[in-house]
């Protein structure tokens, strides 16, 4: 699949590709919402591979315009909403909600570029309002699949439980086998009482080479990108 990305500003990276693959492992179907879709990589890849009815929501006009272009280029049908997720009123509930949200903690030194800032820092989509909104839009037993900064896991788990979402599957992503996890991918369900499963760690690199699992994920995704001005 071909994706247009901004020449200047935030571009999707391997986190989104790994999250697409993680979400695919749960065979999404029915109504799927991609929150903070950016240029649309996660939603479009899932729509290519599964029989879903895709809705994408993106508040930044630059990214939404590229998402629209990517939908047309790849001949994918979706409902693209140019809106702030926390202001979205919704309608029919969703079977799956997926998201690679801005997750860096707002207390760190932040980019002065407003576009990059909105894509990276969770002050633009705080955890509790984000999860509460997700829970309100999911069907009973609906799926919420997302990735986040691994160091914030305690707050993630507490807040999920607070809004009646249970983390059923948790997988840590480590840059190398001897490095702490930087990313965590979580599959949660509304109203679940299941025990949580901590899946085997995902190791991205060995030396300067991608590990075989990462190579296979990139191959399955099959993405190609073109940077352009908007």
For 122-127, what is the mean pLDDT?
78
pLDDT of 90 reads 79
State pTM to two decimals. 0.91
pLDDT of 7 reads 85
Phi first, then psi, for residue 119 (nearest 5°) are -85, -20
Lowest-pLDDT range, 19-28, 71-80, 97-106? 97-106
Residue 88 belongs to a domain with what CATH number?
Answer: 3.40.50.150
Alpha helices in the chain (DSSP H): 14-24, 41-49, 61-74, 114-120, 127-137, 153-162, 212-221
The pLDDT confidence band at residue 108, using thresholds 50, 70 and 90, is low
Q: Give the structural domain span for 13.
A: 2-228
φ/ψ bin of 141: left (φ > 0), alpha (ψ from -120 to 50), beta (otherwise): left
Q: What is the mean pLDDT of the chain?
A: 92
Domains contained in the chain, number: 1
Whether 178 has a pLDDT exceeding 80, the answer reads: yes
pLDDT in tens, 17-31: 999 999 999 999 999
């Amino acid at each position: 699949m071909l994706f247009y990305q901004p020449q200047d500003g935030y571009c999707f990276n391997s986190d989104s590709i790994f999250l697409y693959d993680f979400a695919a492992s749960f065979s999404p179907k029915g109504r799927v919402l991609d929150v903070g879709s950016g240029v649309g990589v996660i939603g479009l890849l899932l729509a290519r591979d599964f029989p879903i009815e895709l809705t994408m929501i993106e508040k930044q006009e630059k990214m939404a315009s590229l998402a629209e272009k990517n939908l047309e280029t790849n001949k994918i049908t979706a409902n693209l909403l140019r809106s702030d997720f926390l202001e979205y009123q919704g309608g029919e509930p969703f079977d799956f909600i997926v998201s690679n949200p801005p997750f860096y903690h707002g207390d760190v030194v932040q980019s002065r570029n407003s576009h990059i800032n909105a894509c990276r820092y969770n002050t633009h989509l705080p955890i509790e309002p984000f999860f509460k909104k997700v829970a309100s839009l999911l069907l009973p037993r609906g799926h919420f699949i997302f990735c986040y900064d691994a160091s914030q896991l305690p707050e993630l788990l507490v807040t999920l439980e607070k809004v009646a979402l249970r983390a059923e599957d948790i997988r840590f992503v480590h840059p190398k086998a001897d490095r702490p996890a930087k990313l965590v991918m979580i599959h949660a369900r509304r109203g679940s009482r299941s025990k949580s499963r901590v899946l085997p760690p995902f190791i991205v690199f060995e030396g300067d080479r991608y590990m075989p699992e990462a190579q296979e994920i990139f191959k399955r995704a099959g993405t190609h990108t073109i940077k352009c001005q908007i």
